[in-house]
Amino acid sequence: MIKFPLSVTIDTNIFIENKFDFNIDSTLGVLIKKTRNNEIKLVLSNIVVEEVKKHLHENIDKISKITKQVGKDLRKIFPDQYLKDIGLREYLKKTDKNQLDQNAIDDFKQFLEDCDAEILDTTGLDFEKILEDYFYCRLPFENNENKRKEFPDAIIVQEIRERFPDNEIVAIVSKDNGLKEACGKRGNYMIFDSLGDLYREINESKTPYQKAAEKILKDTNHILKTISEMIAEDCIEVYGLSSDSNGDFYGHDYNEFYINKCEISNIKIHAVEDLDEAWITAFIWVNGIISVDCYFEDFDNSPWDPEKKEYVFIRTSHVLENHNVKFPCRIKLNKETNDMIVLPFKIILGGDSRLSRYTINDEDVDYYQEIEDAEREELGFCSLSKYKDKLEDELIESSMFKKIVKTLNEYNDMFTKFEELADAYDCLYAQISNMKDEDAIEFVNTILTELSIQMDLTNLNIAEVLKTIIEDFIKKSDFFNKFSSQNLPDTIKYGDKINIIGMNDEIYVLSLEEYDGIPEPGTEECIEITFSTGEQILAQGHVKFIAGYLEFDEYGGAGDGIQDSIEYDADEILKALNKLIIDINNKFINEKIKYIYFSGLIKNDYNS
């Protein structure tokens, strides 16, 4: 159990790692909050303080040279007045190096003051013990000539030993293995590689911090979306050069690069660093797949003029790099509003994250798709450019396909029956046309009786009545011929629109939507199936599919992923089609009965 305030001492390399950022929202800035909350007592060696100041001086020297060179470069291209007019006046001023240097030191001093830091000194140190460790190569003087120069570390270790005897706990934050091993011999020393590790140790035992971690994980999608929107070229560094075990370099030194694809998939909380009434501040690790288009000056393939001893021109070559990357990020999440602030972060893409590297021929516009297809096929997935073919092949094997085709064939069988009925009605009106007058009168009277119609036939023009009956038979014959003339296909495919004639001469359309796109892996896509009258949709179905994918974790092993899947739903479509079949079949039966009646009537009683 940690007793607060916890004494904490920090090595110089921790300041370097955090880039001397003393802003209140930075990782170092959290120290200020925790010292004010009486959670931490910051204790620094005077050696560390002086080393930090030395690094600040060196940084200012670099900054001065850079700003001076930028000003020179700008003046070579544009006149001073133009630079002033467009807002670059600052680059025309001569850099006051001394003032910058003083500002940097003052910023550090303010940090020490805000933390109420205790500065250790060498008063009372046992230098004889340090010399003994040196000559006997004891830690931090390891058996290594370079480490024999580590007198500053030895002084720091001795200061810590003097300041924190065995009965007082101290947290030591350093990346120096020699220093950590030298300090780690005592049970009262807590050793950490980073401030994030320290903050996590402090906060994990506190219930509010546990709840804060739960909230962060609950809001993972929101966090990933916000970070994804911030990722741009200016927060990425691509290291195209790598070295082998012999120290020889290979690869390319890129002049420029552009993000081709970026997909971040999950986060891992490293530490909830700080928690106040409104905000949660956390250090997280983010995993993702990033592809970058990189360009470099390809001297090996550039034409050389031996007479002038210079290149005719420098060829620029194009390389596509794919990376499975894990990068650190600090966020601030509002507990009430869910607003989020993502603090500046840097993504390093190098040999340890590189999955593949391809030389691109920019004249080949399909090269990217070919690369992605090849990678998917290696993992056992269908290539995205061939997904349309996969959908067609899977459709033919589906139970939905077989049921719909079976239904269409039932239609075709019915059409044949109607063709026979049309021929039968042709015969009927031919026979009626040849009736004798007395037979025609009796025939008409019989029909009216069957239809329960009482009518005086004395003044009735039998010829007109027969003409009407004949015309009706002709219409029936024509319609049945038209109805039977349609031959529905015995297969279906994406993009089909099949017209089906109903018994009232209406047109039904069975439509299967076309798919011509390239699917997005992991995203559900839907192909609609409809059965309609053209104006009204009577039934709907769909084919839903997901193109599978596989991502890799930070260790290069299989991570998130999903298999290819296709789902068919045509139940409503089949119900609507079967209902239409039943209606048409009932109509056929009725017409067949009428035909049998009329045919029997003519044949038995009126046939001359």
Per residue in 439-450, pLDDT (tens digit) is 666 666 666 565
Residue 146 is predicted with a pLDDT of 54
Residue 345 is predicted with a pLDDT of 92
Backbone angles phi, psi at 315, to 5 degrees: -75, 135
Residue 230 is predicted with a pLDDT of 92
Q: Residue 571 CA to chain centroid, in angstroms?
A: 33
Residue 129 neighbours by CB distance under 10 Å: 14
Residue 148 is predicted with a pLDDT of 47
Residue 505 is predicted with a pLDDT of 73
CB 42 within 8 A of CB 117: yes
Residue 330 is predicted with a pLDDT of 92
Residue 244 is predicted with a pLDDT of 75
pLDDT in tens, 420-473: 666 666 666 666 666 666 666 666 666 656 544 454 555 556 566 666 666 666
pLDDT in tens, 525-536: 899 999 998 678
CB 259 within 8 A of CB 240: no
pLDDT in tens, 175-227: 988 777 777 666 788 999 999 889 888 887 677 877 888 888 888 888 999 99
pLDDT in tens, 247-283: 778 889 999 999 998 988 889 998 888 888 888 999 9
**What is the residue type of 402?**
K
pLDDT in tens, 593-608: 666 666 665 654 444 4
Which DSSP string corresponds to 51-71? HHHHHHHHHHHHHHHHHHHHH
pTM attached to this predicted model: 0.54
CB 333 within 8 A of CB 25: no
Among 43, 51, 45, 46, residue whose Cα is nearest residue 15: 51
CA dihedral 412, 413, 414, 418 (to 10 degrees): 90
Separation of alpha carbons 29 and 32, rounded Å = 5
Separation of alpha carbons 21 and 315, rounded Å = 41
Give percent of the chain above pLDDT 90.
28
396 has a pLDDT exceeding 50: yes
Whether omega before 208 lies within 30 degrees of 0, making that bond cis, reads no
Half-sphere exposure of 404 (CA within 13 A, CB side): 27
CA dihedral 457, 459, 461, 466 (to 10 degrees): 0
Which DSSP string corresponds to 531-599? EE-SSSEEEEEEEEEE--EEEE-TTSSEEEEE--EEEEE-HHHHHHHHHHHHHHHHHHHHHHHHHHHHH
pLDDT in tens, 57-116: 999 999 888 888 888 888 888 888 888 888 888 777 777 889 999 999 999 999 999 999
Average pLDDT taken over every residue of the chain: 81
Which residues touch 280 (CB under 8 Å, ≥6 apart)?
212, 215, 216, 272, 274, 332, 333, 334, 335
Which DSSP string corresponds to 140-201? TS-SSTTGGG-HHHHHHHHHHHHHS-TTS-EEEE-S-HHHHHHHTTSTTEEEESSHHHHHHH
Whether omega before 521 lies within 30 degrees of 0, making that bond cis, reads no
Would you state the structure tokens that stand for residue 438, as one six-digit string? 């007395």
Give the three-state DSSP class for 433. helix
What angle, rounded to 10 degrees, do the helices at 571-601 and 399-433 form?
20
Separation of alpha carbons 233 and 294, rounded Å = 11
557 has a pLDDT exceeding 70: no
Residue 248 neighbours by CB distance under 10 Å: 8
Cα 215 to Cα 199, 219, 295, distances in angstroms: 18, 6, 42
Is residue 428 exposed (0-12), middle (13-18) or buried (19+ Cβ within 10 Å)? Answer: buried
Residue 380 is predicted with a pLDDT of 82
The H or E element that residue 378 is part of is helix 367-378
Residue 135 is predicted with a pLDDT of 47
Residue 522 is predicted with a pLDDT of 83
Would you place residue 490 in the very low, low, confident or very high pLDDT band (cuts 50, 70, 90)?
Answer: confident
Q: What is the largest CA-CA distance in the chain?
A: 148
Is residue 155 exposed (0-12), middle (13-18) or buried (19+ Cβ within 10 Å)? Answer: buried
What angle, rounded to 10 degrees, do the helices at 399-433 and 462-485 form?
160
Residue 71 is predicted with a pLDDT of 84
